[in-house]
Amino acid sequence: MPHTVFIPSPAGTFSTSLEASPGKVPRWARDEDGVGNGRVRVTSAPVASTYTPAELMAAVAARELRDGEVVFVGIGLPNLACNLARATHAPNLVLIYESGAVGAVPERLPVSIGDPSLVTGSLMVCGMADVFQSLLQNGRIEVGFLGGAQIDRFGNINTTVVGTYRRPAVRLPGSGGAAEIAIHARRTLVISRLSRRAFPETVDFVTSPGHRAHGHSRRELGMPGAGPVKVVTDKAILEADPESGELVLAALYPGVEADDVRAEIGWPLRSKSVLGHIAPPSERELHLLRDTLDPHRLFLKG
């Protein structure tokens, strides 16, 4: 019997449902009995002794996703994190890609948003205008995944230029759909490696808005989404303070001290009163990442 995956609708808009069949769960996402029923619990799996920063970031980001959520995902570590979540604790995750693949179940690692593997077995393939207008701007995307060249004190993301806009030192790829995701997704998760260059106090250009920029808050600018609620780095997790919108230290990875994180941040980083401690990747998480999701290390390079 097919089950129904509902794309949540805000009040005052029509509701949309998509039919998904358990038979479309990818082979690698099925549990030992052959069905993607989510009975594997990564929290009880053996802990691996060695892992790379990229593997740790992918595993930690995957744990932030809840079963049944609708996620707007890109390529790279966010894609690995989403597919790892589906293979472990969130088999009913609905993945939507900018190219128009809705409910994608790729049987191999997609290398771009236009990869044909995203189409095979998906619930729907539509135009980009439908993805952005009917789904994202109508409030049906629960989670947006973003990365960035720069992320500042208030969660603003820069993927446009390093330096001034008219005379940049580096010209970056630009926004794509990142600005709309940061504005409209109900919450946004960010993945980025820590460094002072990547985490300045103020970004050189606001590509994707965070919680405050140029003296204005998200609420003042009428942005409906919650913005970047967490930033998953290679040393710690940062969270947005609910009052100020400033990114603060929320949790540390194994073997990392708070001062190690502050040394890579371009502003006086505050901490939550009680810091969390993140478990390392389990053997199962690493097996899926290394042997199934990214066996050629396209995105798990270091």
Residues annotated as catalytic (active site), given as ranges: 98
Task: Please tell me the distance from the alpha carbon of residue 235 to that of residue 161, in angstroms, as a whole number.
Answer: 25
One-letter amino acid at 111 equals V
* Closest to 279 (Cα-Cα) out of 89, 63, 84, 79: 63
Task: Please tell me the distance from the alpha carbon of residue 232 to that of residue 192, in angstroms, as a whole number.
Answer: 6
Task: Please tell me the distance from the alpha carbon of residue 49 to that of residue 297, in angstroms, as a whole number.
Answer: 19
Judge contact between 210 and 155, C-beta under 8 A: yes
Beta strands in the chain (DSSP E): 3-7, 16-20, 70-72, 94-96, 101-102, 124-125, 143-146, 150-151, 157-158, 161-163, 168-171, 187-191, 212-213, 216-217, 228-232, 236-240, 247-252, 271-277
Q: 125 phi and psi, to 5 degrees?
A: -125, 125
Judge contact between 123 and 18, C-beta under 8 A: yes
Task: Please tell me the distance from the alpha carbon of residue 75 to that of residue 147, in angstroms, as a whole number.
Answer: 10
Taking each helix axis as running N to C, give the angle between helix 77-87 and helix 53-63, from 0 to 180 degrees, rounded to the nearest 10: 60
Task: Please tell me the distance from the alpha carbon of residue 132 to that of residue 181, in angstroms, as a whole number.
Answer: 9
CA contacts within 13 A on the Cβ side of 146: 35
Torsion sign (Cα): 50, 66, 155, 128? positive
